[in-house]
């Protein structure tokens, strides 16, 4: 007999799984190449502002990917990722502002700092499930702006005012592009590397262990997987990803302030995650698009009712695509293909 | 010592607010087996409706009653229109639906009634209780009403057939269907009740924190914390948890040097998380023993 | 005829789990559904209770019930003890029993029925106030049957009642089931892996293989045919 807390929100059922669409490797490679080609061209044909916006989309996508690693692939809820985003951003800002360190070093530094913080947070989080973990991470997310505003740390953090960050200049051999475009390419490069790393991780043995823990923690540990180690490591990696996104955003926005990293950011990331498709790596970019553009759209329709319109759009999207964009795409693909043996196994609704 | 007692009493007074909210939280949890993040906004909206009725000249208790009934209906509608379509969807998607509801209610309230702070009347008055300064009549009234609601809910869930049916439907919907319970109705009933309790909570809280669209943000969180601390399946525990949170928050603010005032909420949450690490089902929650 | 099924097809998503199944159960009869794992036995019970998508005919007491909501079918007098028992683990034994009578009126009668369940299953009486989740497997099975009986059903559907239980307990349970059938006349349709015991209890058996009915015969006939027993029933 094992004791199960009565309020267990259900480990396996709580986190939906968007199974990856199985495309032939050649098809997948063509799609990725096409996407990268488009991405490379965008800043050359768009205004400065649009380039900035797409940079933001990529950054949010990366942040959402961080959350996805923890929640989508490992089944641990987090409402506190705004904290890691903020810590990453402030790491960059502090290193550049107070210690004059070059921007490209601050990004991995932010990642490292966030990894440590995430890992440390993951340790007590081991004892908490779902709902309680949500509360604990909420506390983390809530504390962060307060700590950042804390007067005793003002010398470091700039207090309520925040810190200004100098926008990086393009390197000499690329002097024909401007600062915004360089920032875009820098962000894109970092993100692509991290996307590839994440995809590799998920497909590896470690990735399978991580997913096994999400699907059935008891079975996973019975199979010899060190669940505690993997869960805390995943927390660390997840924090790392979101932290790097935060660092990149500090460079893009050229400014950090405590109130940019409130719990509402955490909620936005969660919304982006679900809309994009939990457990889907490409879905993260779609989530980023949603998080950036839909509030703007709502605002342009009516400033006073922006929140209400955003809510209605969100509801409609969730009703139409309960498994997120990735889930919807998967559904479309399976419809056009008809039933194939691989899909037949996946579409099992229950035991006969 | 005098200061400690004062702070404890003050904590009880604010705790009454959280306890009331915690009750609504537990109520919805009993109905749908997880939390509704828009609970606070629903309560806030209901309170605005009451305010509007009173502003139009309706007597307090009539406005109170009408608001409670309208809230019940609204709760059922929200269940049908918002929750039903995502019922079979993954929990994270349901959470996003609640986030959407939050946004809709918050923004609409701001648009209809604007963001200026309004005062809300209390039937209990604000005179000091027992002659001293520890607690006033409204705060005593809050505690009284919360405890009364708790008693009623307890009698309902433990003592009536319908209450048992609701508990069964929430615990195991498929089995509940197998004994003939109309699970859909039970869920709708739960939503209605939670909305009504939330409305009462809002109307009790508003005289203290003053009425404006963002009034419930912090309160809901404290209410959650209290409910979780007390154990999500125990309404009495939730109420006790709410009071406890009020006391912890006040003591933290007063006695912890340097951080205290600024980080009250965080400290309260940390305390709760620590408690949960040792008692995962909350202080009063019932542990389910299940065989693997 | 109490329960009549004809041309029944059932679907889990895109997969068809039952193909043109037909059978019947009359008042007071005890019949059993046999077959290997995955043959579709549980699906038939779920189809009767509206828990799976179907095409075809299911008639109970003259009323068409195919595709009707579970709670409506139950209210007509069909009690289903599902796979896994479906016990309300957090509630007490007595609360579980009371829930079984949720759709009935008459406090005195219901109380009387609870006592009768305790007579049939004395172990439950000892544990009446205990949380159902703390009961042993055998006791939970008895509780599940007891709860189903509280409905005063015309038809009792049992899905693998012997699953996970020690042989002695299973014999005890089956003896009680026989006695209940004799005393109250409730019809039973039992899905069982343990073919030998099921054939002893029920008078008629249906054999399923990958969603199709391949035999429809009195238990004595199936039990006597050694080749059938060897190939389908494993003994």
List all residues of chain B from 107 to 136 with a beta carbon under 8 Å from chain A.
107-108, 110-111
CB B229 within 8 A of CB B280: no
Q: Say how many C-beta atoms besides its own lie within 10 A of residue A294's C-beta.
A: 19
pLDDT reported for residue A12: 38
Tokens encoding C185 = 């006349």
- For B289: left if phi > 0, alpha if psi spans -120 to 50, otherwise beta; the answer is beta
**Whole-number mean pLDDT of chain C?**
89
| Greater model confidence, B281 or C60 | C60
**pLDDT higher than threshold 90 for residue A97:** no
Report, as an integer, the average pLDDT of B162-179. 90
Interchain contact, B107 vs A270, CB within 8 Å: no
Q: Which residues of C touch B181 (CB under 8 A)?
A: 71, 99, 102-103
* Number of residues that make up chain C: 235
Three-class SS state of C129 = coil
pLDDT reported for residue B261: 58
Interchain contact, C12 vs A349, CB within 8 Å: yes
> pLDDT-based confidence at A6, cuts 50/70/90?
very low
**Whole-number mean pLDDT of chain B?**
84
CB C65 within 8 A of CB C229: no
Residue C224 CA to residue A23 CA, distance in Å, equals 54
pLDDT reported for residue A91: 92
Interchain contact, B86 vs A319, CB within 8 Å: yes
The verdict on B178 touching A (C-beta cutoff 8 Å) is no
Burial of B236 per CB tally in 10 Å (0-12, 13-18, 19+): middle
Which of A135, A308, A322 lies closest to B89 in CB terms? A322
Residue C94 CA to residue C113 CA, distance in Å, equals 12
- Tell me the pLDDT tens digit for each residue of B64-83: 999 999 999 999 999 999 88
List all residues of chain B from 48 to 107 with a beta carbon under 8 Å from chain A.
82, 85-86, 88-93, 95-97, 99-104, 106-107
Mutate to test the interface with B, among C51, C88, C92 (most CBs of B within 10 A): C88
Residue A324 CA to residue C9 CA, distance in Å, equals 32
**pLDDT higher than threshold 90 for residue B52:** yes
* Model pTM score: 0.81
Mutate to test the interface with A, among C8, C9, C10, C15 (most CBs of A within 10 A): C15
Interchain contact, C82 vs B182, CB within 8 Å: no
Residue B102 CA to residue B234 CA, distance in Å, equals 25
CB B83 within 8 A of CB A9: no
- Tell me the pLDDT tens digit for each residue of C93-145: 999 999 999 988 888 999 999 999 999 888 889 998 889 989 988 889 999 99
Pairing of β A255-256 and β A163-164: antiparallel
Which of B180, B183, B288 lies closest to C90 in CB terms? B288
Report, as an integer, the average pLDDT of A168-194. 85
How many Cα atoms are found within 13 Å in the side-chain-facing hemisphere of B151? 6
Interchain contact, B97 vs A318, CB within 8 Å: yes
Residue A89 CA to residue A247 CA, distance in Å, equals 4
pLDDT reported for residue B130: 65
Helix intervals (H) in chain A: 11-14, 25-45, 48-67, 81-99, 103-125, 130-149, 154-157, 179-203, 205-215, 217-222, 227-253, 263-276, 283-301, 306-320, 324-337, 341-346
Q: Calculate what percentage of chain C has a pLDDT beyond 90.
A: 55
Residue A209 CA to residue A54 CA, distance in Å, equals 34
CB C132 within 8 A of CB C92: yes
Query: Nearest-5° angle of CA C66, CA C70, CA C74?
Result: 100
pLDDT reported for residue A343: 41
Interchain contact, C133 vs B164, CB within 8 Å: no
The H or E element containing residue B159 is helix B137-159
pLDDT reported for residue C186: 94
Q: Cα A181 vs. chain centroid, distance in angstroms? A: 23
Three-class SS state of C33 = strand
pLDDT reported for residue A349: 39
Please choose, from the candidates C75, C69, C70, C111, the residue with its C-alpha nearest in 3D space to the C-alpha of residue C94.
C111
| pLDDT less than 70: residues of chain C | 232, 235
Interchain contact, A135 vs B225, CB within 8 Å: yes
How many Cα atoms are found within 13 Å in the side-chain-facing hemisphere of C163? 18
Which of C74, C89, C95 lies closest to B177 in CB terms? C74
> pLDDT-based confidence at B55, cuts 50/70/90?
very high
pLDDT reported for residue A130: 74
**pLDDT higher than threshold 60 for residue A10:** no
- Tell me the pLDDT tens digit for each residue of B205-254: 898 888 988 888 888 888 888 888 888 778 888 889 899 888 888 887 77
The verdict on B292 touching A (C-beta cutoff 8 Å) is yes
- Tell me the pLDDT tens digit for each residue of A328-352: 888 887 777 665 444 433 333 333 3
> pLDDT-based confidence at B291, cuts 50/70/90?
very low
> pLDDT-based confidence at A48, cuts 50/70/90?
confident
**pLDDT higher than threshold 90 for residue B105:** yes
pLDDT reported for residue B28: 75
- For B111: left if phi > 0, alpha if psi spans -120 to 50, otherwise beta; the answer is alpha
**pLDDT higher than threshold 80 for residue A259:** yes
Residue B230 CA to residue B225 CA, distance in Å, equals 8
Complex ipTM: 0.89
Please choose, from the candidates A148, C46, C171, B287, the residue with its C-alpha nearest in 3D space to the C-alpha of residue C54.
C46
Which of C74, C87, C131 lies closest to B180 in CB terms? C74
Least confident of A107-121, B149-163, B223-237: B223-237
User: CA dist C60 to C66, C80, C190, C206, Å?
Assistant: 9, 14, 17, 19
> pLDDT-based confidence at B290, cuts 50/70/90?
very low
Query: Nearest-5° angle of CA A116, CA A122, CA A127?
Result: 160
**Whole-number mean pLDDT of chain A?**
83
List all residues of chain A from 16 to 75 with a beta carbon under 8 Å from chain B.
16, 71
Residue A237 CA to residue A232 CA, distance in Å, equals 9
Three-class SS state of A128 = coil
User: CA dist B276 to A120, B230, B281, Å?
Assistant: 18, 10, 7
Which of C82, C87, C90 lies closest to B286 in CB terms? C90
pLDDT reported for residue C231: 72
Tokens encoding B140 = 């005593």
Tell me which chains share at least 3 CB pairs under 8 Å with chain A.
Answer: B, C
Residue C35 CA to residue C207 CA, distance in Å, equals 6
- Tell me the pLDDT tens digit for each residue of B82-104: 888 888 888 888 889 999 999 99
Closest chain B residue to C75 measured between Cα atoms? B180
Please choose, from the candidates B279, B161, B286, B234, the residue with its C-alpha nearest in 3D space to the C-alpha of residue C134.
B286
- Tell me the pLDDT tens digit for each residue of A180-190: 888 888 999 99
State the distance between the two ends of chain B, measured CA to CA, in whole angstroms.
50
The verdict on A345 touching B (C-beta cutoff 8 Å) is no
């Amino acid at each position: 007999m094992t004791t199960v807390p009565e309020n267990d929100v259900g480990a396996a059922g709580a986190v939906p799984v968007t199974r990856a669409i199985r495309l032939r490797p050649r098809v997948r490679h063509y799609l990725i190449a096409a996407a990268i080609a488009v991405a490379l061209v965008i800043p050359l044909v768009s205004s400065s502002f649009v380039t900035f916006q797409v940079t933001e989309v990529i950054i949010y996508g990366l942040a959402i990917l961080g959350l996805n690693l923890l929640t989508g692939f490992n089944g641990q809820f987090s409402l506190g990722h705004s904290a890691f985003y903020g810590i990453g951003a402030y790491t960059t800002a502090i290193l550049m502002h107070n210690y004059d360190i070059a921007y490209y070093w601050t990004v991995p530094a932010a990642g490292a700092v966030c990894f440590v913080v995430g890992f440390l947070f993951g340790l007590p989080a081991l004892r908490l499930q779902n709902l309680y973990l949500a509360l604990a991470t909420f506390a983390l997310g809530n504390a962060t702006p307060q700590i950042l505003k804390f007067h005793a740390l003002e010398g470091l953090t700039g207090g309520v005012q925040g810190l200004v960050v100098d926008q990086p200049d393009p390197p000499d051999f690329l002097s024909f592009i401007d600062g915004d475009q360089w920032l875009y390419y820098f962000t894109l490069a970092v993100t692509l590397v991290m996307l590839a790393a994440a995809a590799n991780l998920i497909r590896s043995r470690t990735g399978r262990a991580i997913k096994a823990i999400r699907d059935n923690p008891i079975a996973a540990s019975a199979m010899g997987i060190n669940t505690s180690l993997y869960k805390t490591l995943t927390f660390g990696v997840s924090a790392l990803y979101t932290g790097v996104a935060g660092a990149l955003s500090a460079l893009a926005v050229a400014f950090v302030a405590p109130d940019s990293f409130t719990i509402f950011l955490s909620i936005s990331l969660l919304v982006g995650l679900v809309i994009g498709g939990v457990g889907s790596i490409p879905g993260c970019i779609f989530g980023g698009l949603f998080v950036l553009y839909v509030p703007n759209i709502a605002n342009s329709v009516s400033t006073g009712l922006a929140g209400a319109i955003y809510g209605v759009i969100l509801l409609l999207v969730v009703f139409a695509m309960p498994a997120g964009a990735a889930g919807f795409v998967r559904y479309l693909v399976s419809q056009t293909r008809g039933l194939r043996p691989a899909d037949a196994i996946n579409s099992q609704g229950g035991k006969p | 010592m005098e200061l400690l007692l004062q702070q404890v009493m003050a904590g009880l007074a604010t705790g009454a607010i959280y306890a009331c909210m915690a009750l609504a939280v537990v109520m919805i949890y009993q109905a749908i087996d997880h939390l509704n993040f828009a609970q606070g906004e629903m309560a806030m909206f209901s309170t605005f409706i009451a305010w509007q009725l009173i502003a139009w000249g309706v007597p307090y208790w009539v406005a109170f009653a009408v608001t409670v009934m309208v809230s019940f209906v609204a709760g059922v509608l929200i269940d049908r229109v918002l929750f039903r379509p995502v019922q079979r969807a993954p929990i994270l998607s349901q959470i996003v639906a609640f986030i959407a509801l939050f946004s809709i209610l918050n923004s609409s309230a701001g648009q209809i009634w604007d963001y200026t702070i309004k005062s809300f009347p209390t039937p209990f008055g604000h005179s000091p209780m027992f002659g001293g300064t520890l607690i006033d009549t409204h705060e005593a009234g809050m505690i009284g009403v919360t405890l009364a609601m708790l008693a009623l809910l307890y009698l309902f869930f433990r003592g009536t057939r319908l209450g048992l049916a609701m508990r069964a439907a929430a615990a195991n919907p498929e089995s509940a269907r197998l004994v003939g319970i109309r699970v859909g109705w039970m869920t709708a009933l739960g939503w209605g009740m939670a909305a009504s309790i939330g409305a009462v909570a809002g109307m009790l809280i508003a005289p203290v924190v003053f009425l404006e669209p963002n009034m419930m943000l912090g309160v809901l969180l404290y209410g959650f914390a209290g409910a979780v601390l007390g154990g999500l399946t125990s309404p009495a525990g939730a109420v006790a948890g709410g009071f406890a949170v009020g006391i912890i928050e006040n003591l933290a603010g007063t006695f912890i040097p340097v951080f205290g005032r600024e980080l009250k909420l965080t400290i309260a949450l940390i305390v709760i998380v620590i408690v949960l690490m040792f008692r995962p089902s909350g202080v009063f929650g019932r542990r389910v023993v299940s065989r693997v | 005829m109490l329960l009549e099924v004809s041309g029944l097809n059932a679907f889990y998503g895109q997969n068809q789990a039952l193909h043109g199944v037909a059978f019947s159960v009359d008042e007071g009869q005890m019949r059993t559904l046999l077959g290997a794992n995955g043959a579709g036995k549980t699906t038939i019970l779920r189809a009767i209770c509206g828990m799976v998508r179907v095409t075809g005919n299911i008639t109970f007491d003259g009323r068409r019930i195919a595709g009707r909501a579970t709670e409506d079918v139950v209210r007509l007098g069909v009690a289903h003890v599902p796979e896994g028992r479906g016990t309300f683990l957090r509630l007490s034994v007595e609360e579980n029993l009371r829930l079984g009578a949720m759709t009935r009126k008459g406090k005195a009668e219901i109380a009387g029925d609870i006592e009768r369940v305790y007579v049939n299953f004395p172990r439950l009486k000892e544990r009446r106030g205990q949380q159902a989740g703390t009961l042993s497997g055998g006791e939970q099975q008895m509780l599940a049957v007891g709860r189903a009986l509280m409905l005063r059903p015309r038809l009792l559907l049992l899905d693998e009642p012997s699953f996970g239980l020690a042989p002695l307990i299973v014999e005890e349970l089956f003896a009680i089931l026989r006695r209940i059938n004799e005393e109250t006349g409730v019809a039973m349709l039992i899905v069982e892996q343990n073919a030998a015991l099921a054939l002893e209890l029920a008078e008629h058996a249906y054999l399923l293989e990958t969603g199709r009915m391949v035999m429809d015969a009195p238990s004595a006939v199936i039990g006597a045919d050694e080749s059938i027993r060897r190939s389908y029933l494993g003994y």
